[in-house]
Amino acid sequence: MAPMTTAGPEITTADLMDAVAAVSAAFFVDFAGAAARHGLSSSQAKALGVVTDAVPMRALAGRLGCDASNVTGIVDRLEALGFAGREAAATDRRVKIVTITETGRAVLQQIRADMVRAHRALDALDAGQRAALLAMCAQLLPLLEG
């Protein structure tokens, strides 16, 4: 991929898509490596981040972008490690709610702390750039999820 610049001809949607994809891929490699150092797959670590608030299994599958049947194995592993738990919903016993444990919360913090490349890159931004990046993410995310 060519270096990212703002000078020159009009920046196309394809240019932006390439830039976001490159940043996302580099972030994912850092995240997956940190997760692996804690004995988790990237999907398992991502699930921990999703269940910081209680989440139904079906909603967890949607947020992970996988089939509901795959979530069972992910949650089984997190439960076996003591990182998450599941219980029946109070309103419908057929619905299983997944929550993070304190141990899981600690491991998630360690994974995030171990993402050295992401920290280095984000720490290089000044306060204005950090605020602008956060605002752009907040603007784009609902459009991508909808």
pLDDT tens readout for residues 97-120: 999 999 999 999 999 999 999 999
pLDDT value of residue 4? 59
Structure tokens at 131: 């605020």
Measured CA to CA, the distance from residue 5 to residue 16 in angstroms comes to 11
pLDDT value of residue 57? 93
pLDDT value of residue 139? 95
pLDDT value of residue 38? 94
pLDDT value of residue 32? 97
Ranges of the chain whose pLDDT falls below 70 = 1-8, 146
Measured CA to CA, the distance from residue 31 to residue 101 in angstroms comes to 20
Structure tokens at 75: 């949650």
pTM of the model: 0.83
- Cα 60 from chain centre: 12
pLDDT value of residue 145? 83
